[in-house]
Amino acid sequence: MFPPLPLDWSGLHPLIIHFPIALLLVAPLLLILGVALKNGRRAYLVSALVLMVVGTITTYVAVSTGEAAGELAEGVGSVGAMLERHEELAETSRAVFTVLTLLFGALLAVPTLMKRELQGPLFYIAHGVFLAAYLGGSVLLANTAHEGGMLVHQAGVRAMVATGQ
């Protein structure tokens, strides 16, 4: 028998949230491969960008479903402060990854459009600086996920799901 399905938009949050986390945390691995390997470099970098784009788009869905779920959770015990902290971190994560994704897209597109690819030390410095910034975003994302996990595992906040089917 299949597990119960969420009743509405707010119940989708636990299903959706794992996509941006996984996609955004795997993307820098492809970026590192693209920087480290000369063969297939462009394919790895474009693949990293695709993961960032899809991961960032899913942060918008995750925040939306989370806001809907948060409205239901506000009445559950004394989770208000935890919920507020998680919401703030989620919105900040969404903004940070939007900027990071746009920056990486520009890092790939601008040299291509100018028909002057980054080479040598400039290539490694630009991508290294980006990776350092991305690391900061990843730490923020991990903290956001941790706060969400605490809401579930410490405070007992759960998604509304269908019963009896």
Residue 150: pLDDT over 50: yes
At which residue do the structure tokens 């394919």 appear? 43
What whole-number distance in Å separates Cα of residue 66 and Cα of residue 68?
5
Q: Torsions phi, psi of 161, nearest 5?
A: -130, 160
What whole-number distance in Å separates Cα of residue 17 and Cα of residue 13?
6
Q: Band the pLDDT of 31: cuts 50, 70, 90.
A: very high
Q: Are 52 and 104 in contact (CB under 8 A)?
A: yes
Q: What is the CA radius of gyration of the chain?
A: 19
User: What does the pLDDT average to over 15-38?
Assistant: 96
What whole-number distance in Å separates Cα of residue 47 and Cα of residue 163?
40
Q: How do residues 82-106 score in pLDDT, each as one tens digit?
A: 888 999 999 999 999 999 999 999 9
Q: How do residues 50-78 score in pLDDT, each as one tens digit?
A: 999 999 999 999 999 888 877 766 555 67
Q: 83: closest CA among 134, 4, 10, 28? A: 10
Torsion (CA) 107, 42, 126, 92 in degrees, nearest 10: 60
Which DSSP symbol is given to 155? T
Which position has the higher pLDDT, 128 or 150?
Answer: 128
What percent of the chain is modeled with pLDDT above 90? 62
Q: Torsions phi, psi of 6, nearest 5?
A: -60, 145
What percent of the chain is modeled with pLDDT above 70? 84
Q: What is the pTM of this model?
A: 0.86
Max mean pLDDT range (13-17, 74-78, 125-129): 125-129
